[in-house]
Amino acid sequence: MAERSEDSEEVKLLGMWASPFSRRIEIALTLKGVPYEFSEQDITNKSDLLLRLNPVYKMIPVLVHNGKPISESLVILEYIDDTWRNNPILPQDPSERAMARFWAKLIDQQICVAAMKVAGTIGEERDAAVEETRNLLMFLEKELVGKDFFGGQSLGLVDIVATLVAFWLIRTEDLLGVKVVPVEKFPEIHRWVKNLSGNDVIKKCIPPEDEHLEYIRARMDKLNIKSA
């Protein structure tokens, strides 16, 4: 339950159902019990509303809280945690908070980029991108030793951000024809994916697998991405 009286709150999310960045906002809002209106955006034909609310990047997700827009998913996640204090997603200790922010940034700015490179290349270039992605993921693998989630016993910021690995990167492996995150190399990550898959909030907030794979396949065809 949210702490504030709900009838005074207006929470709207401009998002896109298959986007990991949009889904992570839904996870945080659901975790906090904040009701929200979801506005599906056509990212190939951007709405005037989106252009007006995020004039700098013109991208989803945008959270609009009582008329005020916030962009960039990591900024939105921290805003949600600052605004609705129940079920915190960031730890209390400043040093642990800094580490959580560090991993979240690493996932968005490097792991995501390296994984996109896997999709966008073939041959030796793809092999190099797979290697780079794995080297970065190995840091996450080590972080998970002895923990159910990155956040410890419960979902935290890094878990929410790393759903990108669990439900986008790993789901795409078969379509790409390359196991980027093989279970032999990454047993902790695979154990964590199972924990995530059993979590009620996550179950509710990730795209249904069949539709999701269908969407990714169509996008790969359109972008002319080849499987190995």
Partner 1 sequence: MADEVILLDFWPSMFGMRTRIALEEKNVKFDYREQDLWNKSPILLEMNPVHKKIPVLIHNGKPVCESLIQVEYIDEVWPSKNPLLPSDPYQRAQAKFWGDFIDKKVYASARLIWGAKGEEQEAGKKEFIEILKTLESELGDKIYFGGETFGYVDIALIGFYSWFEAYDKFGNFSIEAECPKLIAWAKRCVERESVAKSLPDSNKIVEFVPVLKKHIGIE
Question: Shortest gap between Cβ of 201 and partner 1 (angstroms)?
Answer: 22
3-state SS, residue 149: strand
Query: Per CB under 8 A, does 78 bind partner 1?
Result: yes
- Contact between 4 and partner 1 by CB under 8 A: the answer reads no
Is position 51 an interface residue for partner 1 (rule: CB under 8 A)? no
Quote the tokens at residue 61: 């997700």
* Contact region with partner 1 (CB under 8 A), list: 20-28, 65-73, 168-176, 178-186: 65-73
Give the residue with the Cβ less far from partner 1, 29 or 176. 29
Q: Please select the residue that binds partner 1; options are 28, 60, 70, 164, rule is CB under 8 A.
A: 70
Asked if 56 is part of the footprint of partner 1 (rule: CB under 8 A), the reply reads yes
- Under rule CB under 8 A, which residues in 95-114 are in contact with partner 1? 95, 97-98, 101-102, 105-106
Does residue 161 touch partner 1 according to CB under 8 A?
Answer: no
Per CB under 8 A, the list member of 50, 60, 76, 112 interacting with partner 1 is 76
- Report if residue 72 touches partner 1, rule: CB under 8 A: yes
26/72 with CB nearer partner 1? 72
- Among 124, 157, 128, 126, which Cα is nearest to 143's? 157
Among 22, 41, 71, 172, which residue interacts with partner 1 (rule: CB under 8 A)?
A: 71
Tokens of 41: 């955006």
Q: Which parts of this chain interact with partner 1 (CB under 8 A)?
A: 56, 65, 68, 70-72, 74-76, 78-79, 82-83, 94-95, 97-98, 101-102, 105-106, 139
